[in-house]
Structure 1
Amino acid sequence: MTAPSEASAPERIATLRAELARHDALYYRAAQPEISDADYDTLKRELADLETQFPLFAQADSPTQRVGDDRTSGFATHRHRQPMQSLDNTYSPDELREFDARLTKLVGGEIGGGSMAPAGENKTESAGPLLDYVVEPKIDGVAVSLTYERGRLVRAVTRGNGVEGDDITENALTITTLPRELARGDALLAELGKAPLPELIEVRGEIFMTHAEFERINAERAAAGDSLYANPRNLCAGTIKQKDAREVARRRLEIALYAVGHCEPASALPATQHAVQERLRAWGLPGVEKFWRARGADEVWRAIGELDAIRATFAYATDGAVVKLDSLALQREVGATAKAPRWAIAYKFAAERAETLLTDITCQVGRTGVVTPVAELRPVHLAGTTVSRATLHNFEEIARKDIRIGDWVFVEKAGEIIPIVVGVNLARRMSGVYEPPTSCPECGTPLVRIEGEVALRCPNYDCPAQVRARVEHYASKACVDIDGLGEAMVATLVAKGWVRDIADIYRLRREDLLTLGKKVEKSTDALLAAIETSKRAELWRVIHGLGIMHVGAAVAKDLARHFGSLEALAAATLEDFLGPKKESLIDGIGETMARAIVGHFARAEARALLSALGELGVAPTPPTKATSGVGVFSGKTFVLTGTLPSMSRGEATAKIEAAGGTVSSSVSKKTSYLLAGEGGGSKLEKAQKLSVPVIGETEFMQFLASPASL
């Protein structure tokens, strides 16, 4: 690219600022980035270079001078006591060496510290004093600041714009590994001189999703015929900003803490970053998998190499290494720019990339008719596995990247899990433009695009692909749990025309099933027995199995408790879900979900299915008296917070539900009681503001023993 002149620079600078602002919004607020971190950093570096070359056009609010803003509507904001900055990035060993040289000069030593050239290349040993560093894994997650007052967690806030962030306390409290209270009297604390807990401290770290949890969630979506999430970081970022803490809890997030912000008194902190790590662990806070102490640039580079060699074994995604001055006093002396500390830098690992031939684009049809394009690739080795397919997400992305069948494409593993096509080698292009399908690849029905959606859909309810996905979902363990009715069996039954909808499961004949192979009597009888048992499945399981949009297992349980039967649920109107001011009448079910439920049962296919299921003897087991609201806690809604003296939250929840009450994840005016233990946090504050009665474990047990005291 030709370097802009002074005349053309303003236009290029304006273009880059607008593009970076758009990508910041996609990454930080929507959790749906369109480009890789490396491509984003390249754009930002180009802008920074132009602003340096043409200082007349520099601006204080340029993307190069500010922290990306993750604040979104629907969350209260809270100001950090100490700004929460981002880090400068580099992909270059030479720039790491320059970072060390700058710091050495800033703290008064001689420029040096050794070369950061990769192993095997010439290195220059330092003639001057070497600085002490700490090297930590850079977790690919969502930055968070936790505030503990007198040892108790009171608030969790996102980075936001660096000055203030979104208060996500309620969602953060769903993280089971996050202590509500700092440990006291730990053996390691004794070794550290029994350092007292600070009166107030901001602890900084990263909320993340493990590879295993990400794969679990995507496996469920694949089974349901839904499109897959791109990577753990994006899903984590979207999850932590959910409005319903129950949904956050279903996606099991984790946290690692590795730094501190404001602290009162400052003397409660040790003198070095590595000692901060030890102190955080002594307080019972989860930390990073491993960190390295390094003296001088050569040892830093060796530590980064060691991290790169083992990071694939970590439970979470790491996209780089963070290098920090070890001395907190030197950190304060070196200071910071408007957006990043001068005493730290992030070395980003380049994503492993492979080039291969895109031989075809196939289309998968999900349970709801969504058509998802998939790249069929000439097999290529990438990040330890052989890749032959890659997600293309949707047809708009294909058009944006101008991907065509017959292209040589670049493939990376997003979050080191799912292969994605990140670009095209235009120098090798031989093919014409790719045209999205206009009809369903399974049944030939013309595809439609629903207003407000990106995806193309097949509107044919009887499409074989949709039938297979619906039946698999209904029979899955998460729903009515029909053992023996897995993906292969369902495909066979649909192909033979024996199953065209869920009701046909209950019309299967033994004599037909026996024709599927030799010696199948035992498995056939087991399958038919499982089908018969499913006729009495719990009501919530059947509701979940119907595949109503937005209705997962937890919502299905709420619906089962509230309505008590399929017939009552199917007859419900919007007025049964929403009050005159559109307020929710069923905790956790808002207008969007209510309209989806009512709309589902308004369809002729749904009504016909319910009628057929009833005629075939499907009679779901309604909630027990306890769960249907008959008991000492009948009509009462509880919210739990903090640590109870003698029982876990799960045990308390079981007692409440067994006594006819319900448990909600958030405090509202409809909450009957807040059951609070040690470390109540934001729920306790909200209950007090709303005048919701707050009880402890002793009162709770008294209520159970003596209902008259309620």
Structure 2
Amino acid sequence: MKLISFLFLIVTASVVRLIAAEPAAADARDQIEALRAEIARHDRLYHRQAEPVIDDAAYDQLKRRLAELERAHPDAATAAVPLAPIGDDRSGHFPHYRHRERMLSLDKAYAEAEVRAFHARLVKMLGRDDLEFVVEPKFDGLAISVTYERGRLVRAVTRGNGIEGDDITANVGLIDGLPRTLTATMEHPWPEIVEVRGEIHVPLETFARLNAEREAAGETGFANPRNLAAGTVRQADARSVGSRGLRVVFFGLGACEPAAAQPATQQRLHAALRAWGLPVIPEVWPARGADELVRAIAAVGRARGEFPFPTDGAVVKLDAVALQREAGSGEAAPRWALAYKFAPERAETRLRAITLQVGRTGVLTPVAELVPVAIAGSTVTRATLHNRDEIARKDIRIGDFVYLEKAGDVIPAVVGVNLSRRLPEAQPYRFPVACPACYTPVTRGDSEVAVRCPNLGCPAQLRRRLEHFASKACLDIEGLGPAMIEILVGEGWVRELPDLYRLRRADLLALGRNNEKSVDRLLAGIERSKRADLWRVVHGLGVPQVGAATAKDLARQCGSLAGVAELGPKTIPALGDLRFQGVIADLISVGVGAESVAAVTGRLKGRVLVLTGTLPTLTRAEVTARIEAAGGKVSNAVSRHTHFVVAGAEPGSKLKQAHEFGVPVIDEAELLRLIAGK
């Protein structure tokens, strides 16, 4: 089976210069130092800031070129400024903690020949050709090490520099599905002390939902699931961890005491992790010899389209732990494992224009308007350009032929320009100095990449705020869609959220654009929204870092809209902003008397449910609302702590997981009977 090969890559001009022709001996030290500095810069962007500017293949090519130069010029390599063996993800915002056992990275491969060379090295090193391997999907997230002592979770630490990392225990402890205590069985008793190694990630379904919500609110989407996971788990406000649906999966060990408690093979380790109640990889592929190894990697590549989690490759590991120890580790990676990286699907198309979206917080997001092109199973006409700096860094110009990839196989992104097809008249893009909606001069903070319109009265921002407020995720006001919002803002009748409640029927009818039924439906929807659950109103305010989960917490803590204004700033400083304080006071004055959700006493109090498939009569949002109203909690992942899985038509892998964990599976009708207490 032929694997996807690493054919070509587009990198920045600086990378191209750094991997150019072989230098003279006198220049070798300068070139080595330049490469080391460039690699260190990309390490900081990737590990500490979660904002990489080149793809993994380009990064690995830099490291390979550096290794070639160091081998050719050992004296120059010794004299040059040293480079850390692995990237350092310590952020400086958390205390550090030392790993009991080093936490290394993995060597990378992009072609079948490299996999066979890896196998040949192990055969020669170990003196046997019957080596057995396990091939696992490579999760694209943030590496984490979680320590359990006597079965209890005591610490969660990032990889850091391999020796010590950020102690993010408080945040990781909020990840759904991560047990606070391990389960022991006769076959798999837990060790006295064990470091379980894995990856924090965002499920693809969750990533798509969060980006859809941000797009609806006029905000820039997250670049990819990995950046979202790495950024979220380091939030100072730990509640973001719960609201953004992070997950964790485990597939390796660090320290294990007593040593005799360590499983003898990688396959037995997976069984032990599952028995201990930890979330694990749903499927692995065993292989013996080079040919089976190649076929197993190809099988992971074919299956990855069905995975619910982000993956960018396959990880090959020797199965026997004794042979792993014999093979040993280098300075940065074990010699018994390899990460094979799949090449992302790429397409080339022409950039017709660059448009700007103004979000509800004033951020100007550039969008590439493209000649339609098919990529990864869909037709793409638009792609994010992220920000002004990205356009300048990639030197993207209107009329260029650009390379397009789906970041994390989810959202389209422009990754480079085909300079060989650039037209002579193409000019560098000039980012506007004024907001395209209100012509206010734009601003940019010293530590920000975002360019903003500072005018809170900007009509584009107002439209986005209104769309968010009226959306199904917030107050769900029927009839208040983008077209109506455009009219209300254009006429000057709505200048801020509370003005919705001052609209007059006669004025709306006088426009001559709506019939009486549509006007009455709109006004009735606005009137109903006065009695919406408090958390929906709080969510609708659009306060930075306040999503649905945080809004529900505030509603429970504060009890009323007035309480949110008074007590909310103690936990969410942005709520103390005079603008939000004014909007809240005005909402109260026009009759938005939302009260907190009543104390949870429903039939599902304390129960955790997971949804899968399409239900016959209820949408996902409707069934979630009913479960929460009955005191239950909806989770995205099945675990031993799940009470029910609610299955509809065409269920996914969660149904199989329910059977594996022995979780009862019910349908919509049974769920409604439970809620009703029948």
Task: Identify the residue that residue 80 of structure 1 maps to in structure 2.
Answer: 99
- Alignment-mate amino acid for residue 314 of structure 1: F
Residues 277 and 541 (structure 1), Cα distance of their counterparts in 2 relative to 1, 3 Å cut: closer
Task: Identify the residue that residue 422 of structure 2 maps to in structure 1.
Answer: 429
The reply to whether residue 479 of structure 1 matches residue 484 of structure 2 is no
Summarize deviations over 1:214-261 as a string: whole Å, max 9, x none. 122222222222211100000100111122221211111111111112
Task: Identify the residue that residue 669 of structure 1 maps to in structure 2.
Answer: none
Identify which range, 217-226 or 538-547, moves more after superposition: 538-547
Name the CA distance, whole Å, in 2 between partners of 1:451 and 1:72: 19
The reply to whether residue 506 of structure 1 matches residue 501 of structure 2 is yes
Unaligned runs of 5+ in 1: 110-128, 578-584, 628-645, 652-677, 679-710
Residues 205 and 63 (structure 1), Cα distance of their counterparts in 2 relative to 1, 3 Å cut: farther
Name the CA distance, whole Å, in 1 between partners of 2:559 and 2:54: 48
The reply to whether residue 100 of structure 1 matches residue 93 of structure 2 is no
Name the CA distance, whole Å, in 2 between partners of 1:256 and 1:600: 43
Residues 134 and 61 (structure 1), Cα distance of their counterparts in 2 relative to 1, 3 Å cut: farther
Q: Shift in Å at residue 337 of structure 1?
A: 0.5
Task: Identify the residue that residue 579 of structure 2 maps to in structure 1.
Answer: 601
Task: Identify the residue that residue 4 of structure 2 maps to in structure 1.
Answer: none
Name the CA distance, whole Å, in 1 between partners of 2:170 and 2:39: 31
Task: Identify the residue that residue 179 of structure 1 maps to in structure 2.
Answer: 179
The reply to whether residue 300 of structure 1 matches residue 293 of structure 2 is yes
Task: Identify the residue that residue 158 of structure 2 maps to in structure 1.
Answer: 158
Summarize deviations over 1:371-405 as a string: whole Å, max 9, x none. 11001111111111111111111111111111100
Name the CA distance, whole Å, in 2 between partners of 1:372 and 1:545: 22
Q: What does residue range 288-327 of structure 1 map to in structure 2 within 5 Å? A: 288-327=281-320
Matched length: 587
Q: Secondary structure at the match of 2:21?
A: coil
Residues 388 and 59 (structure 1), Cα distance of their counterparts in 2 relative to 1, 3 Å cut: farther
Task: Identify the residue that residue 654 of structure 1 maps to in structure 2.
Answer: none
Residues 179 and 598 (structure 1), Cα distance of their counterparts in 2 relative to 1, 3 Å cut: closer
Residues 130 and 483 (structure 1), Cα distance of their counterparts in 2 relative to 1, 3 Å cut: same
Name the CA distance, whole Å, in 2 between partners of 1:402 and 1:379: 21
Name the CA distance, whole Å, in 2 between partners of 1:108 and 1:163: 31
Q: What does residue range 259-270 of structure 1 map to in structure 2 within 5 Å? A: 259-270=252-263
Q: Shift in Å at residue 408 of structure 1?
A: 0.9
Q: Shift in Å at residue 304 of structure 1?
A: 0.9
Q: Shift in Å at residue 451 of structure 1?
A: 4.4
Q: What does residue range 663-682 of structure 1 map to in structure 2 within 5 Å? A: none
Task: Identify the residue that residue 580 of structure 1 maps to in structure 2.
Answer: none
Name the CA distance, whole Å, in 1 between partners of 2:83 and 2:270: 30
Q: What does residue range 266-281 of structure 1 map to in structure 2 within 5 Å? A: 266-281=259-274
Q: Shift in Å at residue 347 of structure 1?
A: 0.8
Q: What does residue range 344-363 of structure 1 map to in structure 2 within 5 Å? A: 344-363=337-356
How high is the sequence identity, in percent, across the aligned residues? 56
Q: Secondary structure at the match of 1:165?
A: strand
Summarize deviations over 1:350-385 as a string: whole Å, max 9, x none. 111111111110011111221110011111111111
Name the CA distance, whole Å, in 1 between partners of 2:137 and 2:550: 38
Name the CA distance, whole Å, in 1 between partners of 2:469 and 2:267: 52
Task: Identify the residue that residue 442 of structure 1 maps to in structure 2.
Answer: 437
Residues 499 and 285 (structure 1), Cα distance of their counterparts in 2 relative to 1, 3 Å cut: same
Task: Identify the residue that residue 340 of structure 1 maps to in structure 2.
Answer: 333
Residues 277 and 50 (structure 1), Cα distance of their counterparts in 2 relative to 1, 3 Å cut: same
Task: Identify the residue that residue 406 of structure 1 maps to in structure 2.
Answer: 399
Task: Identify the residue that residue 90 of structure 1 maps to in structure 2.
Answer: 109
- Alignment-mate amino acid for residue 158 of structure 1: T
Task: Identify the residue that residue 524 of structure 2 maps to in structure 1.
Answer: 529
Between structure 1 and structure 2, the one with the greater Rg is 1
Name the CA distance, whole Å, in 1 between partners of 2:272 and 2:480: 52
Task: Identify the residue that residue 369 of structure 1 maps to in structure 2.
Answer: 362
Name the CA distance, whole Å, in 1 between partners of 2:262 and 2:605: 34
Task: Identify the residue that residue 169 of structure 1 maps to in structure 2.
Answer: 169
Work out whether residues 44 and 63 of structure 1, in 8 Å CA contact, stay in contact via their aligned partners in 2. no
Summarize deviations over 1:420-474 as a string: whole Å, max 9, x none. 1111111111111111112322233333334443322223333321121111122
Task: Identify the residue that residue 116 of structure 1 maps to in structure 2.
Answer: none
Task: Identify the residue that residue 620 of structure 1 maps to in structure 2.
Answer: 593
Work out whether residues 158 and 168 of structure 2, in 8 Å CA contact, stay in contact via their aligned partners in 1. yes
> Could you say what the CA RMSD is over the residues aligned between the two structures, in angstroms?
3.1
Q: Shift in Å at residue 650 of structure 1?
A: 8.7
Q: What does residue range 361-400 of structure 1 map to in structure 2 within 5 Å? A: 361-400=354-393
Q: Secondary structure at the match of 1:456?
A: coil
Q: Give me the TM-score of the superposition, normalised by structure 1.
A: 0.76
Q: Shift in Å at residue 540 of structure 1?
A: 5.1
Task: Identify the residue that residue 134 of structure 2 maps to in structure 1.
Answer: 134
Residues 351 and 142 (structure 1), Cα distance of their counterparts in 2 relative to 1, 3 Å cut: same
Identify which range, 275-284 or 21-30, moves more after superposition: 275-284
Residues 335 and 380 (structure 1), Cα distance of their counterparts in 2 relative to 1, 3 Å cut: same
The reply to whether residue 458 of structure 1 matches residue 436 of structure 2 is no
Work out whether residues 134 and 294 of structure 1, in 8 Å CA contact, stay in contact via their aligned partners in 2. yes
The reply to whether residue 27 of structure 1 matches residue 22 of structure 2 is no
The reply to whether residue 227 of structure 1 matches residue 220 of structure 2 is yes
Work out whether residues 48 and 64 of structure 1, in 8 Å CA contact, stay in contact via their aligned partners in 2. no
Q: Give me the TM-score of the superposition, normalised by structure 2.
A: 0.80
Name the CA distance, whole Å, in 2 between partners of 1:222 and 1:6: 53
Summarize deviations over 1:258-315 as a string: whole Å, max 9, x none. 1112212222233211121122222222211311110111111111111111101101
Unaligned runs of 5+ in 2: 1-19, 610-640, 642-678
Name the CA distance, whole Å, in 2 between partners of 1:377 and 1:408: 10
